[in-house]
Amino acid sequence: MGEKIVAIACDGRVTQLPRVHGAASSAANPEGPLDALMPAMTALGLSSAQLFPARRAVLGKFEHCSRAPRLLRSLRTQTRSILNGSVSEAVDGQMYPLISVLVFACCTAVPLWRGKDVAKIDLGSDRGISPHRWTAMKTQTEALDWGGTDSAGPREEMEDAWCIRLLSGNVFYVGVFDGHGGSASSTYLKNNLVRFVDEVGPKMCESANKGVLPCEYNLTDENPLAVAFERADSALLDHLGSLGDPECWSGSTATVCFLSRSHIIVANVGDSRAVIGRKGRSVDLTNDHRPTGSSTTGRSEITRIMQSGGWVSQMRVCGILAVTRAFGDYEFKGGRQELLQELAATGSSQTGSLQTPPVVATPDVRVYERTPEDDFLIVATDGLWDVINSAQAITFVRTMVKRDKSCSMQEVASALIDRALKSRTQDNISCVVVDVRTQAMTT
């Protein structure tokens, strides 16, 4: 099979180069001259600083891309973050996800963008965030001022994501997603979960305004958002099945909020968290889904896992996963029997039947009426909550706004991230802060 060299631009456009003999033709010798990439640059109308050169490594099978050299796997992660794993390319008459592209090692000398240029690039709400630096976006939607930002923290890879949308009926949608095992699941949810809930969320807000919606839906209660989440999880698992190892095993939490003029509806899967300041206090709008006996929710989740034929070891589901509910994580759903076989082969002392999935994507859904005493809403992944509790976060926001009434929520979100980094968080962080002091949103 012949090698194919492709050049991937920032916006996902792809052009193919003819094979260049003696220039960057081996993953073991990635020092080929940059001149070999100039035909693609010319075709795309890009300079070297705007181009992300890439190369398909010949590994026999693309699904075994994890066997590639460590450097190429690391660079592949950056490509995945930029392309969101959503574009495919025809190679030899077959379709392969561009997530399988291994980035040509010489790209270490040709960055996609430099730090000083980040503000000039319009990533848009559907594009990826650079995994090695935090970036931020801010806007104002009528009466709502909000800020969103993220940081990889001390980790090499960025697996968290966040999303903001304005849905029909002037319903404001906020979502944060904490990925594990790679960024494929969180990136997919960032870009696609809204498609499954963009009708359900506003309808539920309308029902809440009419007073015909329950205040809370538990795991066994049927509700439209649970159905939408399960459909999204099924679509995600299909998507992950098209990817290579290790991304096909990835998963993600999801915490989303729908803000209407009168209500806030929160749906939560996993241990990301939504918190609101109300009447001078902090109120947790979600419960963390972790297999710990220190909380009522944790004890309930442990009971559910055991009833499914699973077990908890060292505060992890089957000794593996630290959250009890998540999107993706195929090994705990369709791959349960293979998981049992692998555990048995490794001599695991604890096993179960796993007759039903111990990890589910069914959300807890809560409905809150907005009040004049509400001030700030914080939705963030656990990289923030590991080092700052809910009360501290709300107090931090209030103090900052009181000290400087002209500061924006973007500045507040960025400062909150900086506070977590100074507190030595060991995880990625995605954080959105919304000023909800104005009671009504206008069209």
State pLDDT tens for residues 174-199.
999 999 999 999 999 999 999 999 99
Q: Which amino acid is at 103?
A: V
Q: For 89-121, write each residue's pLDDT tens digit.
A: 333 333 333 333 333 323 322 222 222 222 222
Count of domains forming the chain: 3
Measure the CA–CA gap between 430 and 25, rounded to whole angstroms.
Answer: 39
- Cβ neighbours of residue 121 under 8 Å, at least 6 residues apart? 10, 113
Degrees to nearest 5, angle at CA 140 with 386 and 191: 60
In a domain, 443, yes or no: no
Please give the pLDDT value at position 140: 40
Q: How confident is the model at residue 347 (pLDDT cuts 50, 70, 90)?
A: confident
In this predicted structure, the answer to whether residue 52 has a pLDDT above a threshold of 50 is: no
> How distant is the alpha carbon of residue 113 from its chain centre?
22
Measure the CA–CA gap between 323 and 291, rounded to whole angstroms.
Answer: 7
What HEC string does 358-412 produce? Answer: CCECCCEEEEEECCCCEEEEEEECHHHHCCCCHHHHHHHHHHHHHHCCCCCHHHH
- Among candidate residues 313, 345, 360, the one where a domain is terminated: 360
- Among candidate residues 313, 344, 360, the one where a domain is terminated: 360
What does pLDDT average to over the chain?
74
In this predicted structure, the answer to whether residue 40 has a pLDDT above a threshold of 60 is: no
- Cβ neighbours of residue 131 under 8 Å, at least 6 residues apart? 77, 78, 81, 152, 156, 157, 158, 183
Residues 410 and 316 in one domain: no
Q: Mean pLDDT across the stretch 18-37?
A: 37
Residues 294 and 182 in one domain: no
Rounded to two decimals, the pTM is 0.69
Task: Quickly list H helices, 269-389.
Answer: 296-307, 336-345, 382-385
Please give the pLDDT value at position 294: 87
Q: Mean pLDDT across the stretch 2-26?
A: 37
In a domain, 391, yes or no: yes
Residues 127 and 191 in one domain: yes
Residues 385 and 331 in one domain: no
Residues 365 and 355 in one domain: no
Q: Mean pLDDT across the stretch 267-291?
A: 96
Measure the CA–CA gap between 218 and 207, rounded to whole angstroms.
Answer: 18
Residues 365 and 346 in one domain: no
In this predicted structure, the answer to whether residue 32 has a pLDDT above a threshold of 60 is: no
Residues 104 and 58 in one domain: yes
Measure the CA–CA gap between 397 and 431, rounded to whole angstroms.
Answer: 13
Q: How many helices (H) and strands (E) does the chain have?
A: 10, 21
Range 318-336 burial, b when 16+ CB lie within 10 A, else e: beebbbbbbbbbbbbbebb
In a domain, 167, yes or no: yes
Contact 159, 328 (CB under 8 A): no
In this predicted structure, the answer to whether residue 401 has a pLDDT above a threshold of 70 is: yes
**pLDDT: which is higher, 345 or 106:** 345
Min mean pLDDT across 48-52, 251-255, 423-427 is at: 48-52
- Cβ neighbours of residue 425 under 8 Å, at least 6 residues apart? 153, 154, 383, 384, 386, 387
Measure the CA–CA gap between 205 and 350, rounded to whole angstroms.
Answer: 45
Residue 256 sits in a domain whose CATH number is 3.60.40.10
Q: Is the peptide bond before 246 cis (omega within 30 degrees of 0)?
A: yes
Q: How confident is the model at residue 211 (pLDDT cuts 50, 70, 90)?
A: confident
Q: How confident is the model at residue 436 (pLDDT cuts 50, 70, 90)?
A: very high
In a domain, 115, yes or no: no
Measure the CA–CA gap between 82 and 404, rounded to whole angstroms.
Answer: 36
In a domain, 89, yes or no: yes
Please give the pLDDT value at position 13: 38
Q: Which amino acid is at 290?
A: R
In this predicted structure, the answer to whether residue 143 has a pLDDT above a threshold of 80 is: no
In a domain, 352, yes or no: yes
Degrees to nearest 5, angle at CA 419 with 415 and 425: 135
In a domain, 240, yes or no: yes
> How distant is the alpha carbon of residue 126 from its chain centre?
12
Please give the pLDDT value at position 135: 37
Say if residue 57 is exposed, middle or buried (CB neighbours under 10 Å; 0-12, 13-18, 19+). buried
Give the number of other CB atoms < 10 A from CB of residue 401. Answer: 20
Measure the CA–CA gap between 155 and 80, rounded to whole angstroms.
Answer: 17
Residues 384 and 279 in one domain: yes
In a domain, 177, yes or no: yes
Instruction: Give the residue numbers spanning the domain of 64.
Output: 5-109
Residues 316 and 259 in one domain: no
Measure the CA–CA gap between 414 and 433, rounded to whole angstroms.
Answer: 9
**Winning range, highest mean pLDDT, from 38-42, 137-141, 208-212, 236-240:** 236-240
Residues 262 and 366 in one domain: yes
Residues 392 and 245 in one domain: yes
Which of 275, 273, 201 shows the shortest CA–CA distance to 232? 201
> How distant is the alpha carbon of residue 24 from its chain centre?
34
In this predicted structure, the answer to whether residue 357 has a pLDDT above a threshold of 80 is: yes
- Among candidate residues 84, 109, 134, the one where a domain is terminated: 109
Q: For 125-140, write each residue's pLDDT tens digit.
A: 333 333 223 334 444 4
Residues 151 and 105 in one domain: no
Q: For 305-339, write each residue's pLDDT tens digit.
A: 999 999 999 899 999 999 999 999 999 999 999 99
Please give the pLDDT value at position 348: 77
Whose structure tokens read 């939560």? Answer: 268
Contact 378, 393 (CB under 8 A): yes
Measure the CA–CA gap between 187 and 178, rounded to whole angstroms.
Answer: 9
Which of 292, 200, 252, 267 shows the shortest CA–CA distance to 430? 252
DSSP 104: P
